[in-house]
Amino acid sequence: MGGLRVIISAMDFAFMGGSMGSVVGEKITRAAELALKERLPFITVSCSGGARMQEGILSLMQLMKTSSAIANLNEASIPFISVLADPTTGGVTASFAMLGDINIAEPNALVGFAGPRVIEQTIKEKLPKGFQRSEFLLEHGMLDDVVNRKKMRSYIIRALNLFLNRSE
């Protein structure tokens, strides 16, 4: 990417809602471990409804497993960039997706743990306009930037060059 070797992991909402079960968690963990071993930047693109509930506790264990792998990258000062697509919710948001050195989202992406309807039904109140959308999260300090998909590659290359003290 831009002349740099990187490790990239991506989730696809079209496949089982992008849910994270034991296999997805293992693949993300292995990708992070490869980034650690090779000392390469790690990039994830999340687009997920959360943990794969059909797998029960095995799915929930992936939250800790993936977060731990990201913590190892952090300890080794290896850049981790997290890209949040629409939607990125549930256990994926509660684990690795919000742990990036830079967390960036696509415009109008739904990002959160529980969906707005669930929250409104639980608290019996109307949520603010745009709640859990990327622009709202950016405005409230939960994201570093909101970037259009067409500009995402060049944005990430610039960020990596800054992390790695390289001139563009």
Please give the average per-residue pLDDT across 141-148, as a whole number: 98
- Domain span at 93: 7-163
Rounded mean pLDDT of 30-34? Answer: 99
Q: How many angstroms separate the Cα of 153 from the Cα of each of 41, 43, 145? A: 14, 11, 14
Q: In this structure, how many other beta carbons lie within 10 angstroms of the beta carbon of residue 162?
A: 12
Q: How far apart are CA 6 and CA 12, in angstroms?
A: 19
Three-state SS at 13: coil
pTM of structure = 0.93
Q: What is the pLDDT of residues 39-94, one digit of tens each?
A: 999 999 999 999 998 999 999 999 999 999 999 999 999 999 999 999 999 999 99
**DSSP assignment of 115-134, as one string?**
-HHHHHHHHTSPPPTTTTBH
> Is the model's pLDDT at 155 over the cut of 80?
yes
Which CATH number characterizes residue 64's domain? 3.90.226.10
- Let me know if residue 2 belongs to a domain: no
81 belongs to a structural domain: yes
pLDDT of res. 168: 61
pLDDT score, position 4: 94
Q: How confident is the model at residue 116 (pLDDT cuts 50, 70, 90)?
A: confident
Q: What is the model's pLDDT at position 165? A: 87
d(CA 164, CA 141): 24
Residue 1 maps to a domain:
no
- Per the structure, the count of domains in the chain is 1
Under the banding of pLDDT at 50, 70 and 90, the label for residue 120 is very high
